[in-house]
Amino acid sequence: MTDLQIDRETGQDAAAEPWDDGPVDWRIWRFDASAALSLYVWVFAFIPSVLVFAPMGAAGTPAQMLGILLFLWWAAERLRRGDRGHLQGTTIRFGLTLFALGMALSYVASATRPIAPLEINGSDRSLISLTAWSGCCCSL
C-alpha cells in the first residue's frame, strides 16, 4: 500500500500506523569504496578459498576475483571522470606502481628465457594476484 491508500479492514490511513516511517530513501545505500573494501574483507575472511573459479585455477579464489573487480571498477571510474585533480592516496598508488613495475619486469625476464610450464603458471598467477591487490589499494 502507498501512503495515500486506506486499509479497507480498519478504515485507517495506512501511513498512520506507528511503525511506518514513510517511504524508504534508497539513495542512502550507496556502494562506495569503503563498502567495497568491507565486502572484500568479508569475502576474504568468510568464504572458503577452496571455492575457486575453475578456469583461473589457484588465482580464482572469491577474494581475488573481487579484488580484480575492484581494480576494474577503479580503472573504469578513473576513465569516466578523466580528471587528474584526484590526488588522494597518491603515495600508495606511487608505491604500488613501483611494485607493479618490478613485478612486470620480473615477468618479462622469466618469459624471455626457456622456462618450465609450471613456472610460467606461477608467474601468471602472480600477475593476477597483483591485479587483485591493486584493486584493493587503488580503491582506498
Tell me which of 19-23, 71-75, 119-123 is least confident: 19-23
pLDDT-derived band of residue 2, with 50, 70 and 90 as boundaries?
Answer: very low
Instruction: Determine whether 79 is exposed, middle or buried from the number of CB atoms within 10 Å of its CB (0-12, 13-18, 19+).
Output: exposed
Has residue 104 got a pLDDT over 90? yes
On average, the pLDDT of the chain sits at: 79
